Structure 1
Amino acid sequence: MDSNKKRLVAGLSLNKLADLLISAKTTLPALLVLLSAPSWMVGWLVPIRESGALLPQAVLSFYLRRHSARHVVWRVGMVVQIASALVMLLSVVLWDGVVAGAVILLALGLLSLGRSACSLTAKDIQADITKKGERGHLIGIASTLSGVVTVAIALPLIMLSDTFNMPMLMGILALSTMAFFATLMCMLPLRTHVDTGYTQADLFSVNFDSTVYKFIVVRGLYVHSALVAPYFMLQNEDNVGNLLPIYIGAEALATLLSSLIWGKLADKSARLTLQVAGILALLACVGLLLTQGNTLSISAGLFFMLSIAHAGVRTGRKTYSLDVKEGHERTELVGFSNTSIGLILLAFGALYAALTPMLSFSVVYIMAGFLVVAIVSTVLLPKEK
Structure 2
Amino acid sequence: MSTRHPTELEKLYDYLNDEEDARTCKAIGDEACRETPKNYFLILISNMLTSLGDTLSNPKTVLTWVMSYVNAPVMLISFIVPIRESGSMLPQLFIAHYIRKRPVRKYVWVLGSVLQFLAIAGIGFVALSFEGSMAGWLIILCLVAFSLSRGLCSIAFKDVLGKTIPKTKRGRLKGYTASVSGALVLAAGLFILYKSKDDVGIDFYSYLIFFAASLWLIAALIYANIQEYPGETEGGKNGFKEAWERLVLLKEDKHFRNFVITRSLLLCSALTAPYYVLLAQRYVGIEAYLLGLFIIANGIASIISAPVWGKMADKSSKKVMTYSAILTASLGLIVVGIIQFLPALNDKVWLYPIAFFVLGIAHQGVRLGRKTYIVDMAEGNRRTDYVAVSNTLIGFILLIAGGLSALASLISVEGVIAILSVLGILGAIKSATLPEVE
Aligned pairs for 1:1-385 (under 5 A) are 1=13, 2-163=37-198, 165-166=200-201, 167-192=203-228, 195-196=231-232, 198=234, 200=236, 204=242, 205-206=245-246, 207-208=248-249, 209-237=253-281, 238-292=285-339, 294-353=347-406, 355-359=407-411, 362-385=415-438
Post-superposition CA distance 1:300-322 (Å, at most 9, x none):
11111111111111101110011
- In structure 2, relative to structure 1, the CA distance for the partners of 1:229 and 1:116 (3 Å cut) is same
Structure 2 unmatched runs, 5+: 1-12, 14-36, 340-345
Greater shift, 215-224 or 188-197, is seen at 188-197
Distance 2:101 2:350 in 1: 52
Greater shift, 190-199 or 339-348, is seen at 190-199
Distance 1:141 1:98 in 2: 41
Shift of 1:236: 3.6
- Tell me if the contact between 1:21 and 1:248 (Cα under 8 Å) persists in the aligned partners: no
Shift of 1:100: 2.5
Shift of 1:359: 2.4
Distance 1:145 1:250 in 2: 15
- Tell me if the contact between 1:124 and 1:192 (Cα under 8 Å) persists in the aligned partners: no
Greater shift, 104-113 or 254-263, is seen at 104-113
Letter of the 1:261 counterpart:
V
Structure 1 unmatched runs, 5+: none
TM-score by length of 2: 0.82
Distance 2:74 2:237 in 1: 49
- In structure 2, relative to structure 1, the CA distance for the partners of 1:135 and 1:360 (3 Å cut) is closer
Greater shift, 92-101 or 198-207, is seen at 198-207
- Tell me if the contact between 1:71 and 1:192 (Cα under 8 Å) persists in the aligned partners: yes
- Percent identity of equivalent pairs: 30
Letter of the 2:189 counterpart:
A
Distance 2:185 2:434 in 1: 34
Larger radius of gyration: 2
**For the aligned residues, what is the CA RMSD?**
2.1
- Tell me if the contact between 1:164 and 1:242 (Cα under 8 Å) persists in the aligned partners: no
- In structure 2, relative to structure 1, the CA distance for the partners of 1:132 and 1:90 (3 Å cut) is same
Letter of the 1:253 counterpart:
I
Partner residue in 1 for 2:16: none
Letter of the 2:274 counterpart:
P
Post-superposition CA distance 1:218-253 (Å, at most 9, x none):
111111211221222222444151211111111111
- Tell me if the contact between 2:319 and 2:432 (Cα under 8 Å) persists in the aligned partners: no
Shift of 1:131: 0.6
Distance 2:158 2:182 in 1: 21
